[in-house]
């Protein structure tokens, strides 16, 4: 039997996904949901034949991966930098070669071995801050680029080094952190005299606001699966060390407490948005990564004495989490209209307005932002609070992990198309929309001068998000959207020196304090290009729908059961 990673099943690999991970993308191609048909047909006709064949290839390739038809020959890795286009009809863009060179310059070595990439290689900048470190989240697009290019060694080294760091005793002042916490970043100190290399790691103690990175552990699990899926090398994930590393991360987020929701309660600044931005509570970015990491772990955990209990807990949590997210975080025109008319002060389990959200708290902008067709997962849901902001990373990961149903995934893409100016503008892609201004900015960010309106995390545009958008586009069969975004990036990124982020409502200006030669801007571009060229790469970062998690009730008109 074929394993969940699309590989021959070896040893004790097994997964719930085996039964439910049935790929049904062909259904999407043949029969678009009725309410989407008019525009879908139009854009279908507008697409060139080559585009169409790419999207069909994307489906075929993803299907092959998930049906275990993977074979080393299908893997497009192994070609040389940067001529990855040789086998395709694409002309390599001149920027691709420059990007590879810049990516290689960012490599960090430990005792002669590459173990990661530095966050930014910006010699012009006087302030290095902590951009000379290898950040776990920043390394993900670098890792994918190397995997797609047939260079898995650095990814393996990185996974093992960070796993080793997880084993450290972690303290903030006198307080000991959970065993499973993964570092936000690490650094290699070279001593040229003694000829020694020393690792130092940050688990949040040196970060602004002293917040532990909740996303690091999730990205680590997701990357372990990407490595395994891309190389076919099951031996790394099967080692007792990796199995333990996964269990420790899972123990942190599956522990019992006072929770009444299956979502994960977080402090502000615990993820990509690592400064106070009003994302405390149950931020979509973390919930989507949590969901994806749970599904990846499920496919890699051994069903042995120690693993079995975690497998059972994961299955239960996934069930509750998908229900909660699809029901309460999902917003479309119909749902917005329903919330607008909600009654408050309802008690008992018959309450419709479960979190007692006061309709007056719905911000004005969302009524204009919401297209007639389309939808998205909102930023946060907790008692009497819905954060209606759009967050790019969480929504893209929701598509890739299949937290979004196929209908919801299509609706998210519809929203991106309908609100192109707001979400993409002149430089892909807004990390969050809209910006917080004036009094609200003072209260929510604590007057953060780096997060002024339309800058940095507060409505700034981050080129790194291009790879996530591209992956989501390929998965939903809409590569033309990614191509449009990539063209925008190509018109500026190299010329501007690969900035970390852009500012302004349209993302037209290089960010006020943006680093240049920001590695994840470079790697994000490369990954986007490689995925478009060879959509079979999608398999390493995407999970197909698990039918067992289909919603049981129909709550909104926009998705079917
Ligand atoms: C900024 C970003 C964070 C990133 C780091 C290094 O702090 O907010 O997400 O990991 O820079 O690039």
pLDDT confidence of residue 546: 83
pLDDT confidence of residue 411: 98
Q: Is the pLDDT of residue 476 over 80?
A: yes
Kindly state the DSSP code that residue 547 receives in the 8-state scheme. Answer: G
> Which ligand 1 atom minimizes the distance to the CA of 275?
8
Average pLDDT in the 437-454 region?
A: 98
Average pLDDT in the 513-536 region?
A: 98
E-strand ranges in 473-536 read: 502-503, 509-510
**Best substitution site from 119, 187, 458 to test ligand 1's pocket, by max atoms within 8 Å of Cβ?**
119
Query: Cα of 120 to ligand 1 centre, how many Å?
Result: 10
- C-alpha gyration radius of the chain: 22
Indicate whether residue 297 lines ligand 1 (CB < 6 A): no
Q: Is the dihedral of CA 528, 529, 535, 541 positive or negative?
A: negative
d(CA 480, CA 478): 5
Identify the CA nearest to 116 among candidates 90, 95, 137: 137
φ, ψ at 135 (rounded to 5°): -90, 140
| Contact assessment for residue 287 and residue 264, using Cβ atoms and an 8 Å cutoff | yes
Indicate whether residue 272 lines ligand 1 (CB < 6 A): yes
Query: Cα of 405 to ligand 1 centre, how many Å?
Result: 30
> Which ligand 1 atom minimizes the distance to the CA of 133?
6
Indicate whether residue 357 lines ligand 1 (CB < 6 A): no
Query: Cα of 272 to ligand 1 centre, how many Å?
Result: 6
Indicate whether residue 139 lines ligand 1 (CB < 6 A): no
Indicate whether residue 137 lines ligand 1 (CB < 6 A): yes
| Contact assessment for residue 399 and residue 288, using Cβ atoms and an 8 Å cutoff | no
> Could you tell me what percent of the chain has a pLDDT over 90?
76
| Contact assessment for residue 329 and residue 411, using Cβ atoms and an 8 Å cutoff | no
Least confident segment among 129-143, 451-465, 519-533: 129-143
pLDDT confidence of residue 207: 81
Q: Is 22 exposed, middle or buried (0-12, 13-18, 19+ CB in 10 A)?
A: middle
Tokens encoding 276: 């106070």
Q: Is 194 exposed, middle or buried (0-12, 13-18, 19+ CB in 10 A)?
A: exposed
Residues whose CB falls within 8 Å of the CB of residue 287, separated by 6 or more in sequence, listed in order: 263, 264, 321, 325, 329, 394, 403
Identify the CA nearest to 344 among candidates 327, 364, 359: 359
* Residue 475 pLDDT grade (very low, low, confident, very high; cuts 50, 70, 90): very high
| Contact assessment for residue 413 and residue 454, using Cβ atoms and an 8 Å cutoff | no
pLDDT tens across 355-377, in order? 999 999 999 999 999 999 999 99
pLDDT confidence of residue 25: 31
Kindly state the DSSP code that residue 325 receives in the 8-state scheme. Answer: I
CA 523 to chain centre: 14
Q: Is the pLDDT of residue 105 over 90?
A: yes
Q: Is the pLDDT of residue 209 over 80?
A: yes
**Best substitution site from 118, 132, 134, 137 to test ligand 1's pocket, by max atoms within 8 Å of Cβ?**
137
**Best substitution site from 118, 129, 138, 214 to test ligand 1's pocket, by max atoms within 8 Å of Cβ?**
138
pLDDT tens across 115-134, in order? 999 999 977 666 666 788 99
Query: Cα of 515 to ligand 1 centre, how many Å?
Result: 10
pLDDT tens across 298-356, in order? 999 999 999 999 999 999 999 999 999 999 999 999 999 999 999 999 988 899 999 99
d(CA 302, CA 320): 23
Indicate whether residue 138 lines ligand 1 (CB < 6 A): yes
Average pLDDT in the 257-271 region?
A: 96
d(CA 443, CA 278): 9
pLDDT confidence of residue 21: 33
**Protein residue with least CA distance to atom 3, ligand 1:** 272
Tokens encoding 340: 């607008």
Residues whose CB falls within 8 Å of the CB of residue 440, separated by 6 or more in sequence, listed in order: none
CA atoms within 13 A on the CB side of 394: 26
Average pLDDT in the 234-242 region?
A: 98
Q: Is the pLDDT of residue 85 over 70?
A: no
> Which ligand 1 atom minimizes the distance to the CA of 518?
12
| Contact assessment for residue 274 and residue 207, using Cβ atoms and an 8 Å cutoff | yes
Indicate whether residue 330 lines ligand 1 (CB < 6 A): no
> Which ligand 1 atom minimizes the distance to the CA of 272?
9
Indicate whether residue 135 lines ligand 1 (CB < 6 A): yes
**Protein residue with least CA distance to atom 4, ligand 1:** 272
| Contact assessment for residue 336 and residue 330, using Cβ atoms and an 8 Å cutoff | no
CA atoms within 13 A on the CB side of 170: 24
CA distances from 118 to 121, 200, 408, 445, 516 (A): 7, 14, 36, 28, 12
d(CA 105, CA 86): 24
First and final CA of the chain: distance in angstroms?
30
Least confident segment among 16-20, 242-246, 347-351, 414-418: 16-20
Domains of the chain, residue spans: 94-540
* Residue 555 pLDDT grade (very low, low, confident, very high; cuts 50, 70, 90): very low
Query: Cα of 518 to ligand 1 centre, how many Å?
Result: 10
Average pLDDT in the 136-140 region?
A: 98
What DSSP element (H or E) covers 550? none
pLDDT tens across 416-442, in order? 999 999 999 999 999 999 999 999 999
pLDDT confidence of residue 551: 53
Indicate whether residue 119 lines ligand 1 (CB < 6 A): yes
**Best substitution site from 127, 204, 272, 455 to test ligand 1's pocket, by max atoms within 8 Å of Cβ?**
272
More confident residue, 40 or 371: 371
Torsion angle defined by CA atoms of residues 530, 531, 535 and 539, in that order, rounded to the nearest 10 degrees? 120
Indicate whether residue 224 lines ligand 1 (CB < 6 A): no
Q: Is the pLDDT of residue 12 over 90?
A: no
Q: Is the pLDDT of residue 292 over 80?
A: yes
d(CA 394, CA 286): 7
- CATH of region 94-540: 1.50.10.10
Indicate whether residue 66 lines ligand 1 (CB < 6 A): no
Query: Cα of 274 to ligand 1 centre, how many Å?
Result: 7
Cβ count near 363 (within 10 Å): 13
Tokens encoding 481: 């959207």
Q: Is the dihedral of CA 465, 533, 141, 315 positive or negative?
A: positive
Angle at 394 between CA 539 and CA 54, to 5 degrees: 35
pLDDT confidence of residue 413: 98
Tokens encoding 332: 């479309």
Q: Is the pLDDT of residue 489 over 60?
A: yes
Query: Cα of 289 to ligand 1 centre, how many Å?
Result: 17
Residues whose CB falls within 8 Å of the CB of residue 203, separated by 6 or more in sequence, listed in order: 168, 170, 172, 177, 181, 182, 183, 184, 212, 213
Average pLDDT in the 198-222 region?
A: 93
d(CA 398, CA 409): 8
CA 251 to chain centre: 21
pLDDT confidence of residue 57: 40
| Contact assessment for residue 451 and residue 35, using Cβ atoms and an 8 Å cutoff | no
Indicate whether residue 274 lines ligand 1 (CB < 6 A): yes
In the predicted model, what is the mean pLDDT of the chain? 85
Tokens encoding 457: 């995390």
Tokens encoding 378: 């909102």
């Amino acid at each position: 039997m074929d394993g969940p990673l699309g590989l021959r099943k070896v040893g004790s690999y097994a997964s719930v996904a085996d039964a439910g991970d049935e790929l049904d993308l062909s259904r999407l191609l043949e029969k678009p949901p009725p309410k989407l048909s008019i525009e879908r047909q139009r854009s279908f006709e507008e697409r060139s034949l080559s585009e169409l064949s790419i999207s069909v290839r994307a489906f075929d390739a993803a299907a092959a991966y998930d049906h275990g038809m993977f074979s080393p020959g299908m893997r497009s890795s192994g070609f040389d930098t940067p001529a990855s286009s040789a086998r395709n009809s694409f002309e390599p863009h001149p920027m691709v070669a420059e990007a590879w060179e810049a990516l290689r310059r960012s490599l960090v070595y430990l005792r002669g071995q590459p173990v990661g990439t530095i966050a930014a290689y910006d010699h012009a900048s006087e302030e290095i801050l902590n951009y000379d470190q290898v950040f776990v989240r920043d390394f993900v697009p670098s890792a994918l680029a190397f995997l797609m290019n047939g260079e898995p060694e650095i990814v393996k080294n990185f996974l093992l080094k960070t796993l080793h760091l997880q084993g450290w005793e972690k303290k903030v002042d006198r307080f000991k952190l959970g065993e499973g916490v993964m570092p936000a970043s690490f650094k290699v100190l070279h001593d040229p005299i003694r000829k020694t290399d020393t690792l130092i790691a940050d688990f949040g103690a040196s970060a602004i606001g002293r917040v532990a990175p909740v996303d690091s552990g999730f990205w680590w699990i997701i990357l372990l699966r990407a490595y395994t899926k891309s190389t076919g090398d099951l031996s790394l994930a099967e080692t007792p060390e990796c199995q333990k590393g996964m269990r420790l991360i899972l123990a942190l987020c599956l522990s019992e407490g006072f929770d009444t929701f299956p979502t994960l309660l977080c402090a502000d600044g615990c993820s990509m948005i690592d400064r106070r931005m009003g994302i405390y509570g149950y931020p979509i970015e973390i919930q989507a990564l949590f969901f994806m990491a749970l599904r990846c772990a499920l496919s890699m955990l051994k069903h042995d004495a120690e693993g079995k209990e975690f497998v059972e807990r994961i299955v239960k949590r996934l069930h509750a989490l998908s229900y909660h997210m699809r029901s309460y975080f999902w917003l479309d025109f119909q749902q917005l209209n329903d919330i607008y008319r909600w009654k408050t002060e309802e008690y008992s389990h018959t309450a419709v307005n479960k979190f007692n959200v006061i309709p007056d708290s719905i911000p004005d902008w969302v009524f204009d932002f919401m297209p007639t067709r389309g939808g998205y997962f909102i930023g946060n849901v907790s008692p009497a609070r819905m954060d209606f902001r759009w967050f790019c990373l969480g929504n893209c990961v929701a598509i890739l992990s299949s937290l979004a149903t196929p209908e919801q995934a299509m609706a998210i893409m519809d929203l991106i198309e309908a609100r192109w100016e707001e979400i993409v503008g002149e430089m892909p892609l807004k990390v969050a929309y809209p910006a917080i201004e004036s009094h609200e900015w003072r209260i929510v960010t604590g007057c953060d001068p780096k997060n002024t309106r339309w800058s940095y995390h507060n409505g700034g545009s981050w080129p790194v998000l291009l790879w996530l958008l591209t992956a989501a586009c390929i998965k939903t069969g809409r590569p033309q959207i990614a191509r449009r975004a990539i063209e925008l990036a190509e018109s500026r990124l190299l010329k501007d020196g690969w900035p970390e982020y852009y500012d302004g409502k349209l993302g037209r200006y290089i960010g006020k304090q943006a680093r240049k030669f920001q590695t994840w801007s470079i790697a994000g571009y490369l990954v986007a290009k490689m995925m478009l060229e060879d959509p079979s790469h999608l398999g390493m970062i995407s999970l197909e729908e698990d039918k067992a998690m289909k919603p049981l009730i129909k709550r909104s008109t926009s998705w079917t059961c």
